[in-house]
Amino acid sequence: MSLVLSLISQPSQSLRHKLLLLPWGLVVIVTGLAAIGIAMLLSASGGNFDPWALKQIIRFAVGFALMITVAVTNIKFWLRTAWLIYGVGLFLLVAVKLQGSVEMGAQRWLDLGIMKLQPSELMKLGFVLVVARYVDSRGADFSGRLLSLVVPIFLLLLPISLIIIQPDLGTAVIFVIATFLLLFVAGLSWRIIGTLSAMVTVAAPFAWHFLHDYQKERILVFLDPSRDPLGTGYNIIQSKIALGSGGLTGKGYMLGTQSHLNFLPEKQTDFIFTMLGEEFGLLGGLALLLIYAVLFVYGFSIATRAASRFGRLVALGVTFFLFLNVFVNVAMVMGMIPAKGVPLPFVSYGGSSLVVMMIGIGLMMCVWVHKDVRLGPGGVE
């Protein structure tokens, strides 16, 4: 216990000093995104705080407290506990398979009584921390050679194999892309990227035979939504209708017909961007994407100013996962990619996604607070 307390507190910096060092502009951006989400949840429920907005406010408050706590924690603590956090994430993914609750045909959640936890969301942070620690521990030995990828690929295969069988192909794909982005900025060469891309391209036709029937149908409907307009293609067709009907400036707050007449499915989660586009139009959607763009710039800026390789990779890893979640959700509701059950960060309704992403922002802020701290193997300055 004394070791943990010594890691969490940093004698050279008082708590007050750390709070002053926090990038409060980033806090304002995250709070603004959450406020937009809460406003859209109010609209989705016809102006009532139940059943979504009030719960989201409570989850934001919890996430905010965790974000600040993580931000002021000594960065050495996260370096030294990376393997433990990754192990806990794997344990929870196994627990989902054994005891997880089934919703909408997928077994992705653990019912904890007070809330439902989606371990795949928590695993994103554990994975970023452990890969950053591994690459940092290798030092100059991590040159991006093919042999250097053995451990990171193994660390990737363990969680995504458990995520795929839930099944949750969308999250698994995000893990794969985020991994190679992270390894690329860590030193992975273009030659290896080209080789792996060629391997994936060759293997893609064979992977078709391993997909579930509903996953195959999603891809076929993506190519031709009219294939099943009242079934699998219904969601995307209604999403496009709602987005198009919003025009340039939208129909007005709480005046979206597609969403309020319940033509638009899952308007509080996967299709919340569609509802925003219908009510605030193209300009509203672009404004939200601009806020996300500023958030991503913050992430890259924090990474480039970090003195430690571990800190840089953690900030970039969190930024990559945030970017991919936004890209997949927005592209999906526009019909640009097959339908995926991926929430829009800080805006969609969901406890696990909101709280975990806020903890991720806390890790980015922690890197900023400790940007001048140089870490060697094992977390020694």
Contact 36, 21 (CB under 8 A): no
Q: What is the pLDDT along the chain (381 residues), one digit of tens a residue?
A: 444 444 444 444 577 888 888 899 999 999 999 999 999 999 988 888 888 899 999 999 999 999 999 999 999 999 999 999 999 999 999 988 887 776 666 677 787 776 778 888 999 999 999 999 998 887 766 666 667 778 888 999 999 989 888 778 788 889 988 988 888 888 777 777 777 778 777 776 776 666 667 667 767 766 666 666 666 677 788 888 889 888 899 999 998 888 888 888 878 888 899 999 999 999 999 999 999 999 999 999 999 999 899 999 999 999 999 999 999 999 988 888 877 778 899 999 987 889 999 999 999 999 999 988 777 654 544
Question: pTM here?
Answer: 0.88
Q: Please state, in angstroms and rounded to a whole number, the distance separating the CA atoms of residues 76 and 73.
A: 8
Q: Please state, in angstroms and rounded to a whole number, the distance separating the CA atoms of residues 381 and 368.
A: 16
